[in-house]
Every structure is written in structure tokens, then in C-alpha cells.
Amino acid sequence: MVKQLCILGSTGSIGTQTLDVVRAYPERYSVYAICAHRNVDKLVEQANEFHPEVVCIADESLYETLRSRLSAFDCKVWAGADAIAQVVTMPSIDVVVASMVGYAGLRPTIEAIKAGKAIALANKETLVVAGEIICELAAKHHTPILPVDSEHSAIFQSLVGEDQSEIEKILLTASGGPFRTFTLDQMRHVTAADALKHPNWDMGAKITIDSASMMNKGFEVIEAKWLFGVPVEKIQVLVHPQSIVHSAVQFTDGAIKAQLGAPDMRLPIQYALSFPERLASDFPRADLFELKSLTFEQPDLERFPNLALAYEAMRRGGNMPCVLNAANEVVNLAFREGRCGFLQMSDIINQTMVKAPFVAKPTYEDYVESDAAARRIAESLL
């Protein structure tokens, strides 16, 4: 039976690689809807190839442009956040690939869960901002959430067939990014162009900057807590520059299971779509004979304080991870635009967490207010 996909963020890194999987298995997957922020050219190109029923763009100012360019296509053209939240609920859709970047991915993911759609989750911020609400909704609506991140996919694969109550520790690997060996003085002078040169992974700009600052790994710690039901004290980050061991689980008997592979996001994307099956692929293989060594290091929290801030936000709980995420989105963009230094990002996030009102048991409306308030505070600190 062909699975009908709705791809949120279809023009981004995860979205385009998801379409690679669809190309490889047209008898298994069909694209029902594609959504993007503002990349009209790429949306039109994708619509021409995959013939979706719905094409949606978040930036409403581009609606007429998109509609005009798709006038010869037999598809619905929608625009705006409300439209994206609506399209994920359409009856024909089986799986929603949640790969929109940032806080914007939260609302459509919530609506998709309520509609009972399987979620292939690549949007970190959804669980970072509102993990408790997401997990409660998924349980209530019996909605599977299958991780697409390579690290969480590795943990998920390591747990297949295991009793999760036997988890002693989750070992979450990190490449260390482009500044792994830089001194603090060197890091004061790095630019966005420097940070965008990731040594192993091909990702979008926002997530690549988060990887360079290790905020991305902090977000993954929070995600892992919610996805696998373990306290943050049981999640250990290991810097693994080769990016071959994607993550591992240590069990109560001392055994460790890990998932290894070449750094190619199409593998975890395909696994999320095909689970519990494994499909043959021509993706690159990791040749263990060619690897001279696999090394692991402790993360340096002095040079990469964002990781410590993420642990602090999770320990405080409530709306604090939401505040952390909002402040990070502000400074990440400011750094890319040259309005903020690399090390200054952590200082502003920390100050925002201090200044933002704390809500111990937030509702969805509290998250919306906390996000807006944290963004105002972070902007004022730039």
C-alpha cells in the first residue's frame, strides 16, 4: 500500500533528502502535500516532479507568485501558518514528515498528531519547546513519533526488541563541529561563513550554526528525554569527530548497543518511513577497514556553554526549554546576519533565561507567550 506523505519543509535539507527516498521507492511512497517557508522556485520544481495535491507556502506575501507559477498544475495552492496547520490533517495523508525549521514547526505537528497521522520527526524544536504536551497528545491519539535525527534514530534502532526500563544510559554522539579544536580566543573571531563549514554533515544554515555552537546537541538531549522517557542525568554526550557511531544505549547489564553508518541523513529518513521494515538502498556504506580509529571525547562546556544551558533548561523544566529555544533562534539569525558574535550568543541566551518569566506548568498558550517574551528579551540584548 502506497503511503501518502505530507512534507513540511520540503525545500530544506531534510525535505529534499526525503524526496530522494520517494524517488527510490515510487511504489511505496507518494507525495500528497509539500510545504515550505518561502522558496518558490524549489516548490515549483518539486510540484512539477511529484504532482502533489497541495502546495503550501508559509510566507503569505508570496501566495500570488506561487499560484501564478502553478496555474498550469492541477493542485491546490495555499499560504500561511493556518493553511499549513490545516493541510496536515487531510484524510488522505498517512505520514507527516515534520522538517520545518524552528518554533514554526510546533503547531502543525500538534495538529497532525491530533489527526492521528504518523510523525517522522526531524524538527527538534517541537519536543524542545513542548515535549510534555507532544508526548501526552501522542499517547492520547495513539500517534507514532518516529525520529529522523540520525542520533535519535540510532537510539531508536538500538532499542528495537529491548525493554526500555533496562536503559542505564543513553550515549548521544556529537561531531564537535568546525570549532572542536579552537581556543576561546579563536572562537571570538569566527564568522558565520566559518561556522557553516561543517566537517561531516550537509545541513541547513540554522542547524549548522546550532551544531557549531553545540546548541543542536543540547536540543537533542532534551529530545531524547521526551522520546525515550529517561531523565537528563541518564543522557551523556560524547564528542565523536568521525560521525560513524551515530549514538548508543548502555543497558543495566553493562552491554552497549550502537548504530553505525556513513553520515548520510537519507538512511534515518528511510528507516522512519519504512519501520519496522528495512529497505535496500544504494546509500554510501561506512567501510570499517578504511577507518583508522573511532575516538570519543568529553564535551568542553567552557568553550561550548550552550550544551550546559540546555541541561539547565531541562532541569528547571516548565517553559524554560521554550525560552532557551526562542533566545537561540534570535541569536542564531543575528550571528548569521553579522549582528552578534559567536561567543555572545551563549551570553544572550543565558541572560534571557534569567530575565524571562518562569511558568512551572505551561499550557500551549503559555508556550506561545513565553516564545514571544523570550524573543523580545533576546532582541533587546543584542
Q: What is the pLDDT of residues 292-333, one digit of tens each?
A: 889 999 999 999 999 999 999 999 999 999 999 999 999 999
**H/E segment holding residue 54:** strand 54-57
- DSSP 3-state percent helix, strand, coil across the chain (nearest 5): 50, 15, 35
Each residue of 123-139: pLDDT tens digit? 888 999 999 999 999 99
pTM for the full model?
0.91
Confidence tier at 199 by pLDDT (50, 70, 90): low
Q: CATH code for 317-382?
A: 1.10.1740.10
Helical packing angle, 13-24 and 266-274, nearest 10°: 60
Name the nearest CA neighbour of 35 among 50, 18, 19, 57: 57
Residue 163 dihedral angles phi and psi, to the nearest 5°:
-90, 120
Cell numbers for 72? 498550469
Query: For residue 116, what are the CA distances in angstroms to 112, 144, 268, 337?
Result: 6, 9, 22, 39
- pLDDT at res. 205: 85
Q: Within 13 Å of residue 33, how many CA atoms lie on the same side as its CB?
A: 27
- Distance between CA atoms of residues 241 and 204, nearest Å: 20
Query: Where are the chain's structural domains?
Result: 3-147, 152-264+284-302, 317-382
Q: Return the pLDDT at 202.
A: 63
Please report the pLDDT score of residue 66 as a whole number.
Answer: 96
Q: Which of 29-43, 92-106, 318-332 has the lowest mean pLDDT?
A: 92-106
pLDDT mean over 272-281: 95
Q: Specify the pairing of strand 118-121 against strand 95-98.
A: parallel
State which fold the 3-147 domain adopts.
Rossmann fold (3.40.50)
Residues 145-194 pLDDT 10s: 999 999 999 999 999 999 888 999 999 999 998 999 999 999 999 999 99
